[in-house]
Structure 1
């Protein structure tokens, strides 16, 4: 219980302290390159993520970082728990935003940082809005930002991977960026497994080899989804 209280204090305390930085970063000149802007904007969120993950006592092993290509990419990851986002922010050495459910937009401070990263908020219940969100995400990828999607749509909490939703893969087909499959194994142990309490656990993050646009442009979105899911599944214990 004490670890959980300490973890939430770190999480929300750091966010409140970050408000002046958030306000300042919103005023960055538009003349800056995407790469330069992202490096500056992501510095504090990355530090926040490292602090939050560390508060659980987690031991994190990261494999395959040598596979990370230069330039914008679409990261596709399985989704085991709430700590997946801070784990990726802390341990993937590349600025990245997320495709997030629209409910997160109601969270104070967090949503403001997500808009700045930038992230895309999607309402899966509203098909028209979801289609627009995919186009917004594709435009961000074309502009040079990297994004993460969790195509299961929900947390598995240590259970088997759910079938990937194919619609989110249009982010790649509309932008022609490399797809990097990521396997997260063990993140549910940090929170969900112990009744939503912060708890130590071993987590393995595996960065798979990228799938280049020329490798997926000749196959259907469904085939692409199955290909990526199989690559992620192979690294789960």
Structure 2
């Protein structure tokens, strides 16, 4: 319970500071390049996310950062729990936006940052919103911004990786950008596996080798989607076996 109070107190207590900094950042935007401004905006959510993870008393170890290419990419990650975003924001140095449910817009300050981060908002109850989120993601990638997608569409809560929905392939193909798969393990142990009480956990993140834009363009989605999912699933299994000591 103590970890939960500390974590949520920081989550919302930091928002007034974030609001002041956002105003400063936006005032500097006109005199900055696109990549420079993305890095500036990313710095505040990165600090916020790192502060959240610190208060859960969890450890986060990341491997494969050498696989991050220059330029815009479509990150694809499995989705264990609500702490996936704070973990990835705090551990991946490359700025990115992400697709989020529209309910987040009701929160104070946070959606204003997300708009500057080039996040895309999705109404899961509206089929037209799904198509628009795909088009919006393609446009942001074409404009030089990286995007993160959880192709399972929902949290697995640590109970195995679900099917990958195909929309991300159209996004990458139409935008002409590489896909960078990410495997994440342990975030569901922070909250989802504890009746939503926050407890410390060991979290591991692996950035896998990118799949080039040319290969994406030339390869059928029905072939590539299972291949990407398999790589993520295999990496998650390897991380788990190392933690448990089982072969």
TM over 0.5: yes
> Which structure is higher in helix share?
2
Alignment partner of 1:48 is 2:48: yes
Write out per-residue CA displacement over residues 37-65 of structure 1, whole angstroms, 9 at most, x where no aligned residue: 11111111110010001111111111111
TM-score, length of structure 2 as denominator length = 0.92
Q: Counterpart of 2:28 in 1: which secondary structure?
A: coil
Give the match for residue 83 of structure 2. 83
Give me the whole-angstrom Cα distance separating, in 1, the residues matched to 2:169 and 2:16: 35
Structure 1 counterpart of 2:183: 183
Aligned twin of 2:27? 27
Superposition pairs for residues 153-164 of structure 1, below 5 Å?
A: 153-164=153-164
Comparing 115-124 with 29-38, which one deviates more in the overlay? 29-38
The 3 A distance-change label for structure 1 pair 46 and 106 is same
Partner of 1:146: 146
Distance 1:122 1:168 in 2: 14
- CA distance in 1 between counterparts of 2:228 and 2:235 reads 12
* TM-superposed deviation, 1:16: 2.4
**How do 1:46-195 and structure 2 match up within 5 A?**
46-195=46-195
Q: Which residue of 2 aligns with 1:13?
A: 13
Write the distance in 1 (CA, Å) between the matches of 2:65 and 2:7.
Answer: 28
2:168 match: secondary structure: helix
Q: Distance in 2 between matches of 1:181 and 1:23?
A: 33
Separation in 2, partners of 1:4, 1:66 = 34
| Cα displacement (A) at 1:199 | 0.8
Secondary structure at the residue paired with 2:24?
Answer: helix
Aligned residue pairs total 237
Query: Taking structure 1 as reference, are residues 27 and 221 closer, same or farther at Cα in structure 2, changes over 3 Å only?
Result: farther
**Aligned with 2:99: secondary structure?**
strand
Return the alpha-carbon distance in structure 1 between the equivalents of residues 127 and 198 of structure 2.
35
CA distance in 2, matches of 1:51, 1:222: 40
Q: In 1, are the aligned partners of 2:172 and 2:216 still within 8 Å (CA)? A: no
